[in-house]
Structure 1
Amino acid sequence: MVTCHGASLVILYLHLAWVSCLQKVEQSPQSLMIRVGESTTINCNYTETTNDGLQWFRQDPGKGLTFLLYITSEEKQNGRLKSTISRKELHSSLHITDAQPEDSATYLCAVGAQ
């Protein structure tokens, strides 16, 4: 755990792009650092309209992907995680509230069938 002036920090790393067929998915920011207890938002933009939903995953260092959320309509929440999607704007966001050290991971969004 990293400490700075007595406050623990959480580092969230993001995968930049995931390409599937003709669909291009980009996430931002590429990486970020926040203090424990703060909230943050990870953005996901994609290039093609899809009838399928959008999935959010996380990957802990040295481990496989862990499924977080599958969103097909405007908003979905799972504990401290909330995802929104705008099919018109080809955009989704993952909001993490009350960040904890165990939230440090790589976060990925993927567009397509569940």
Structure 2
Amino acid sequence: VRGQVKVDQSPQVLSLQEGDNFMLKCNYSSTMTTLQWFKQKPGEGLIFLFFLTGETQKKENLRATLNTKKRQSSLYITASQPRDSGTYLCAIQ
């Protein structure tokens, strides 16, 4: 029987001005070592951003890190643009 995995993201809601920098954190209770970040805009499907196994990855103005010892991932957005608005989700496997 597989136990439930708890995933907490913070902050839950974030309001920014264009050009701001911000960071989202994802903490999880599993010993799994891979994590994915997605973005979703209202009424649209998930947009894949990153698949992490431990190394830092970058894409445009996004950067994602994964610390498997702390069981935590961070998503950094620098100089935010209107295209960055949406709901960000992390998933582990």
The TM-score normalised by the length of structure 1 is 0.76
The match for 1:87 is: 68
Cα distance in structure 1, aligned partners of 2:59 and 2:81 = 15
Aligned-pair identity (%): 46
* Counterpart pick for 1:39 among 11, 21, 37: 21
From the CA coordinates, give the structure whose radius of gyration is larger. Answer: 1
The TM-score normalised by the length of structure 2 is 0.92
Aligned residues: 92
Cα distance in structure 1, aligned partners of 2:74 and 2:86 = 16
Give the aligned residue type for 1:25.
V
Aligned-pair Cα RMSD in Å: 1.4
Q: Runs of 5+ in structure 1 lacking a partner? A: 1-19
Give the aligned residue type for 2:39.
R
Q: Say which SS state the counterpart of residue 63 (structure 1) adopts.
A: coil
More strand by share: 1
Give the aligned residue type for 1:24.
K
Q: Say which SS state the counterpart of residue 23 (structure 1) adopts.
A: coil
